Structures are given as C-alpha cells and as structure tokens.
Structure 1
Amino acid sequence: MLKAELRKKYMQKRKALSSDEAFVLSGKIFENFITSFTPAESEKVHVFIPIPERKEIDTWIFIHYFLKQNIRVFVPKIVEDRLISIEIFADTVFEVNSWGISEPVSDTDSGEYDFQYVITPLLYCDHKGNRVGYGKGFYDRLFQIIPDHTKKIGVNYFDPDEAIGDVWENDIPLDYLVTPAKVLSFLSGLE
C-alpha cells in the first residue's frame, strides 16, 4: 500500500480511538519501552511532544519519567522550516504553535545530536522499520545527522500489517517499534 493510503487509513484508525483508549494504550507503550530500554541518568533522549487532537502517543508520560530520573530530554521545534532540538527541564515554559503542538518558548537550538534514543512519531510502520509520518521529512533529515549508535524508536498504537509500497531512497528505517503489545527490532529481524 502507498504512503498516502496508509497515512489516511491510520489517521482514521487513530481518530476512532476514544481518549481513554489512547491514554491506556500510551501507558502500555511506555511500559514496553521501559522494559526493553533502560535510559540511564545523564543519557540524552530526543522525544516528540504529542498533538492531542491527532491522538498521538502521550509522550508526556515518557518526558516526566525521564526528567524525574535525571535523563536529559530534548524535544523538537520547527524554526524557519527546520527541526531543531531544545533541551527541556521541569520548569521549561511551553506554548502551543499554529499546528497545535506544544513547544518550548525558547528558539535556542541545543546543537545536540549525540542522542542515545530518538523516540519518533509516526502513523504507521511496516515489518522492515519503514515508517509513514505526516510527510514533511523532518525526522528523515534528523536521522541523517545523528550517530549510528542512536536508537531510532517509533511508537505506535498499531502493529505492522502490510508493506509500504513507495519507500524512497532518503527514507531511513527505524531500529525498533514499540506498540502496546510488543517491541519489534528491525536490526536483528527479531521481535
């Protein structure tokens, strides 16, 4: 199936979830993440801020946990049509942008790219780690500049079902996918 079709299909599947279902599933995804990955104090995690209207995974659960564990947290912000990474703290001030995304007020790019983990938004991911996002390419560009050791981890309510038919040359696959039911590794081909 083509990305545009998958994007539409999985946006509809997400919309069909109740807020309570999305909250419970987000909690299960977080539990599976923590069970499989163990970010340590002072490690750096890049994690997206969810858009509640799009029923994205509630990554605030992750962020609060990381901050409490003294794990360094970086979030994306789009400035002049490019994604920058801003380090946040418990007292960071946020505002909602024109896309409905809560972002830090600051536009100061941390300049940091040596993350241990990048928790990645997506609408769909296939059995090879190829993902369908919103089509802007921000994360593919981020993946090009982070080190090879960084774990690229997608989070999704849904398990892979079908192949993406139009994977492009610049598309960079995920290393892992965390769902409410399991964690898939695309590095070894094992679940």
Structure 2
Amino acid sequence: MDQNKEILRRDVLKIRNCIEEEERIEKSRRIFNTLIGLNEFKNSASVMCYIDFKGEVITRDIIDLCFSLNKKLCVPVISNNQNGARQIIASVLKDPESELYRGNFGIMEPKDEYIRVFEPVEIDLVIVPGVVFDEKRNRIGFGAGFYDRFLKKVRNDCFKIGLAYEFQVVKSVPADKFDIPMDLIITEKRRI
C-alpha cells in the first residue's frame, strides 16, 4: 500500500510542479469562490487554514477574508509533543506580515514568540492540503501522518475541507484505518 501511495504522490507532484503561476492563480481563485459560498465557511467562527507552498492551492485570499470577517484564524505549526514526537498544533495568527517566517520543510509558520496555541476542539472548520485525493474524499499528504493525527483531535462536527486542483483527484487511493477522510474536497471544477 505504501508503495502505491508513493507512486501516486510522485506522479501528482510532478504535474503540480509544472503548472504555470498564472494557471495556479486562476484555479485557486475558482476554488476560493466555491469555498466562500459554503454555509460551513460562512457559519464558522474559527478556521484553521494551511499556508500554501510549493504549488499548493493558494490560501492567502482565504486567510485575508477570515481576518476581514473577524473569524479566529489558526495555522498549523509543526511542534514536538512531551514525548519528543513531531505533531501539528493550531496557532492563532493575527498578522501574517510580521508574525511568519519560513520554518519546517520551508513552510511559512509563526515565529516562536507568536505561537498562540488554540485547542483543536475549538476549531469549526479545517482547510487541509494534500498531494492526492480520491472520490471517497480520502487524501494522501507527504507521508508523515501529521494531519491525520491532528484531525483525530477535532470535534466530530468540525468540517474538514481538502483543497486540490482537479488533476490531484483520482478514482481511488489506498487508505487505512488511521487515515481521516475529508468532509468535502473542492477543485476548480467541482465539489466532491
């Protein structure tokens, strides 16, 4: 199963790394427009959203809109738990311009002095990145399992949305009992 995941991951990343910036911006804009029309987004008081990097669906407009709507916005931060294992924590972001730096894996995240831990059970909506998704709303990330472990800590009614370009969605991906499916996947062409 892991070998199949690795092949899917490699093949889709190869395509994602080749899209032109203009196309990425246009597709991300369509995804953004679908997202902001959802009742789950409109009704959420607290949103956790990834900060895009390396060709992912652009999230800056989502982040800016959350601020303008006075939603509590959290971003994922890779941290060590008490056992020294790496994990995602949610951190409240107040000012992207001054609080962020390029951290783990080259991902923008809050500087240490701006980490404000927000409990997963308080999050209404989580916007999740992924490399590959399937039509059953399963996802493949980069293989570390950070999001799957984090998503086990959110409330059952916390709405989980994966953002992807249409070419990132395949008929089926290998999934096991530890994988947490999305409630919805949004591409530039459809909602799944």
TM (norm. structure 2) is: 0.87
Distance apart, 1:110 and its partner CA: 2.2
- Return the alpha-carbon distance in structure 2 between the equivalents of residues 38 and 76 of structure 1: 20
Letter in structure 2 aligned against 1:18: E
Match in the other structure for 2:87? 82
Aligned 8 A contact 1:124 1:158 in 2? no
Q: Does 1:162 align with 2:164?
A: no
Aligned 8 A contact 1:117 1:151 in 2? yes
Aligned 8 A contact 2:120 2:154 in 1? no
Distance apart, 1:112 and its partner CA: 4.1
1:146 counterpart (151, 154, 162): 154
Distance apart, 1:116 and its partner CA: 1.4
Closer/same/farther in 2, CA of residues 112 and 128 from structure 1, 3 Å limit:
closer
SS in 1 for 2:105: coil
Unaligned runs of 5+ in 2: 81-85
Q: CA RMSD in A?
A: 1.8
1:115-134 to 2 correspondence within 5 Å? 115-134=123-142
Distance apart, 1:108 and its partner CA: 3.6
Match in the other structure for 2:68? 68
Residues 151-189 of structure 1: CA deviation (Å, up to 9, x unaligned): 11000012533211x3111111111000001111xxxxx
2:8 counterpart (3, 6, 9): 6
Match in the other structure for 2:17? 15
Q: Does 1:103 align with 2:109?
A: yes
Specify which structure has the higher proportion of helix: 2
SS in 1 for 2:37: helix
Distance apart, 1:37 and its partner CA: 3.6
- Return the alpha-carbon distance in structure 1 between the equivalents of residues 44 and 145 of structure 2: 29
1:174 counterpart (153, 160, 182): 182
Letter in structure 2 aligned against 1:148: N
Match in the other structure for 1:187? none
Unaligned runs of 5+ in 1: 185-191
Query: Which sits farther off after the overlay, 56-65 or 102-111?
Result: 102-111
SS in 2 for 1:183: coil
- Return the alpha-carbon distance in structure 2 between the equivalents of residues 3 and 120 of structure 1: 18
Match in the other structure for 1:188? none
Aligned 8 A contact 2:51 2:108 in 1? yes
Aligned 8 A contact 2:36 2:42 in 1? no
TM (norm. structure 1) is: 0.88
SS in 2 for 1:168: coil
Closer/same/farther in 2, CA of residues 41 and 88 from structure 1, 3 Å limit:
farther
